[in-house]
Amino acid sequence: MKIQLALDRLTREDCLQIITDTKESIDWIEIGTGVIKDYGMSIVREVKKQFPDKIVVADMKTCDAGKFEAAQAFEAGADITTVMAFSANKTIIDTLKVAKQYEKRIMIDLLGVIDPNRISELKELGVDLVSLHYGKDMQVDGEIHTDLFSLLDGHSSFEVAVAGGINLESLPAILEKKPNTIIVGSAITKADSKLVAEKMKGMVKKYEINH
């Protein structure tokens, strides 16, 4: 299982410092939507330039203009860009085509999706990477609801990332669900980043050894 560091509501300087502090414990770097809105594609370029060995996720949350936004992210150095699951099928198909051209990937954000039929539709469209997402405005005291995973029952072919207030206390319950990628934001960025990231990576490794 990979750890994806989510950088949100931070300055450029803070983003770069936190990545530097945690780089030994994280696998993927997510440039959050708010950070992209503050700094544009320049922050994506800078992060990829400084940390070329890391997978960089541009959390564009694209829901329209799929071809343009996907190309924009990939040309800036992103390896993965996010597209909302409620987007038109045409938008999703377009972004998948662009990703193939650039030999990059699309992560479909399932925020707000509650209909299992939409999951089946996404699979038919060629989606292979999804993000279960318990939104910031729905989080209470860092709690994440593991029943999110029920949305993917019967769809084991997806590569799954999960996000939503995950911290040291809630991580064990997430590990039991065996997602491919665990997205962690404020639990790392608003604490002793290096220490928390190391502890989380240690918990992941220990779980994988014992299971």
Where are the alpha helices (H) located in the chain, listed in sequence order? 12-22, 33-39, 41-50, 66-75, 89-102, 116-125, 171-175, 186-189, 193-210
Buried b (16+ CB within 10 A) or exposed e, 21-40: bbbebbbbbbbbbebbeebe
Distance CA 42, CA 113 (A): 31
Domain ranges of the chain: 2-210
* 8 Å CB contact between 165 and 138: no
- Does 141 have pLDDT greater than 60? no
How large is the C-alpha radius of gyration of the chain? 16
* 8 Å CB contact between 98 and 67: yes
CATH superfamily, region 2-210 = Aldolase class I (3.20.20.70)
**pLDDT tens digit string along 145-188?**
557 899 999 888 999 999 988 999 999 999 999 999 999 999 99
Six token digits for residue 134: 């318990």
**pLDDT tens digit string along 79-132?**
999 999 999 999 999 999 999 999 999 999 999 899 999 999 999 999 999 999
**pLDDT tens digit string along 21-63?**
999 999 999 999 999 999 999 999 999 999 999 999 999 999 9
Integer angstrom CA distances of residue 159 from 26, 163, 182: 18, 14, 12
Task: Enumerate the β-bridge partners of residue 31.
Answer: 7, 58
Distance CA 120, CA 102 (A): 26
Find tokens 């989080």 and name the residue.
139
* 8 Å CB contact between 104 and 118: no
Find tokens 């700094």 and name the residue.
39
* 8 Å CB contact between 47 and 56: yes
